[in-house]
Amino acid sequence: MGKVAVVYWSGTGNTEAMANAVVEGVKSKGGEVDLIFSDDFGPSQLNDYDAIAFGCPAMGNEVLEESSFEPMFESVEGNLGGKKIAIFGSYEWNDGQWMRDWEERVKGGMGNLVYPALAAYDNPDDDALAKCRELGAALV
């Protein structure tokens, strides 16, 4: 079994709810998991994990949160090669372009996306949370 990090930022609690469901999915497959706020994760921790789920809502003009999450992700994205990666987050406007852009960044960093990029509209409903659990299980 691999060790999984679920690294997230949440302003309203929607992406945090998704992160907790991802943790449940990892645990359902017997995986070891750490839930980590984006301020507390960086490049020095990458080798501690076999898989990483990154969670961030859409902000502003469909971008990642700019003061905590974006600097953290920028610091690790070039070193994702060979790692099992998943991305998720919530949004409340537009069409989810931030998730498509983010997915391209992960692929550019050679991360191995093991589950389709997962965007939930606003407060994640039961279906979205079930998909988060599937995402977590896919990382194990």
Q: Look up residue 64 and give its DSSP letter.
A: -
Q: Determine the CATH number of domain 3-138.
A: 3.40.50.360
pLDDT at residue 1, as a whole number: 57
Q: Where are the domains of the chain?
A: 3-138
Q: What is the pLDDT of residues 93-123, one digit of tens each?
A: 778 889 999 999 998 878 899 999 999 999 9
**Are 64 and 7 spatial neighbours (Cβ–Cβ below 8 Å)?**
no
Across the range 76-101, mean pLDDT stands at 90
Q: What is the pLDDT of residues 47-58, one digit of tens each?
A: 999 999 999 999
Using CB atoms within 10 Å of the CB of residue 126, give its burial: 0 to 12 exposed, 13 to 18 middle, 19+ buried: exposed
Strands 51-55 and 84-91: parallel
**Are 75 and 98 spatial neighbours (Cβ–Cβ below 8 Å)?**
no
Q: What is the pTM of this model?
A: 0.96
Percent of the chain with pLDDT over 70: 99
Q: How confident is the model at residue 90 (pLDDT cuts 50, 70, 90)?
A: very high
